[in-house]
Structure 1
Amino acid sequence: MTGAGRAEYCVVACAEAWRGGGEILASPMGLIPSLGARLARHTFSPDLLLTDGEAMVVSPDGAVEGWLPYRRHLTLVTGGRRHVMMGASQIDRFGNQNISCIGDWARPRRQLLGVRGAPVNTLNNPTSYWVPRHSRRVFVEKVDMVCGVGYDRAAGARHHRIPRVVSDLGVFDFATPDRSMRLASLHPGVTVEQVREATGFALEVPEEVPYTREPSARELRLIREVLDPGNARAKEVVG
C-alpha cells in the first residue's frame, strides 16, 4: 500500500505530537488531529487516553473503556497530564494563538469563537496546533488578541509547552534559542520558498529541512480502512 496523499502525511504528523507521551489525555480538536490521536493510540502510543468529549474514556474505535468525571478531567488539564491539539485563526512567531477576533478587540472586524479554554490549556498542559490552510492571514507577525499563550508570555508557567504546529505545508516547532517558530519538516511536494511565501513573519529555516515522515503500510491501512474509510480527510486537506 503506497501513494500516501497530503492529508495522510498531515494525519501522521499530528499523530507524532503524542509519541512518547505515556498515559496522558489526548484532546484533539478537529478531524485531522482526531485521526492523528487515534492513529497514535493504535500504533506507537498505546497508553494514550481518548475521550468521547463528554465523560467517557474510549478506545480508538469508540468503545467505552472507563469513566472520566469532570473533576478528574480538570486534574489532568491543570496538572500537565493532557496534550491538546487546537486550531488557530492566527498564530505568531512565538506561538501566541488567536481564536477570538480579527482586528481591534474593542471593535473587531470579525468575531470568532472567543477565548474559550485556550489560556488554561496553554499555561497548564502541552498544546499543539493544526492549521489546514497555511497562509499569511493565519501565520502573522503579531496576533490581534492573545488567547493561547506563546513562549514570550509564558514565564513561570510550569507545564507550558508547544510541541508542534502542523499545517498543510509542513511541521513547525520552537527549537530555537529565542523560542521562535522553526520549520521542522516539509510535506512532500512543498518547497521552503512556498512556506516562506505563505508565512507572515521571518521563519527560522535550517540549512537542511527533512521531509515529513512517510506513513507506514500499516498506518495507511488504518487510516484508509479503519479510521476514515469515507475519506473525509481529503475534504480538509487538498493535495
Structure 2
Amino acid sequence: MDEEKNKILNQISEYVITGNYKSMSETVEIALKDGLKASEILNRGLLSGMDVVGVKFRDGLMFLPEVLMSAKAFKTAMNIIEPLLMDESSSNKFGCGKILLGTVKGDIHDIGKNLVGVMLKGNGFSVVDIGVDASTEKFIEAIQKEDPDIIGLSAMLTTTMIAMQKTVKILKEKFETKLVIVGGAPVSQNFADEIGANGYAKNAMEAVDLCKKILKVNY
C-alpha cells in the first residue's frame, strides 16, 4: 500500500512540475478514493512539486510560462482537496486565527501568496486574500472589515519593495496593535526589520510556523 501511495503522490508531484493540469483531476480523485488524505496530497504531492518548480525557476531552468502552467496544475488539484483540508483542520487541535494576505501595489505575482494561504488553511487558520496589486487603501479597508490577527504582505519584485515599505509604515501607524509579516523572493529578514514588520518568512511553511509562534498556537 505504501508503495502504491508513494507512486501516486510522485505522479501528482510530477504533474505539478510539468504543468499537466489535464491529468491532475483524475489522479487526485483516484488518490482520494484509494484512501489518501487531502493533507498528504498537499504536502507530499503538490507542495513537493512546487518546491522543485521554485528551485528550477530560481536557477533559470524554468521560465514564467512554465511556472504558470505548474500553478494551474496546482490550482486544479486544490479545487478538489481544499474543502477536504478544511474538514481535516476542523478536527485538529490548532488554535484558530485570522490572517489577511495580499500582494502589494504594482505586483501581480500570486503563486507564493496563494501557497501561503493554502498552507495556513490546511493548518486551521482562517484566511482572507485580497489578491494582487493591492494598494495601502485596500489593505486598510480589508483590515477594518475583517479585523485579522495578522496581516501578511507579499512582494516578488525588487521594484515593489518600496510599496511594501510604504504600506507597512502606514498600517503600523494606523493599527498599532496589528501584527504585520512580510515575504517574497527579494525580501529578507534585514529588510523586514528595517521597515518595522513583526516577522518575515522565506517560504510557505515558515509562514505557517511564524503565524503559530506569533499567535501562540500549540504545534
Structure with the bigger RCO (C-alpha within 8 Å, sep 6+) is 1
Verify same fold: TM over 0.5: no
Q: Structure 1 or 2: larger helix share?
A: 2
Pairwise TM-score range, normalised by the shorter structure: under 0.3
TM-score (norm 1): 0.24
Question: TM-score, with normalisation over the residues of structure 2?
Answer: 0.26
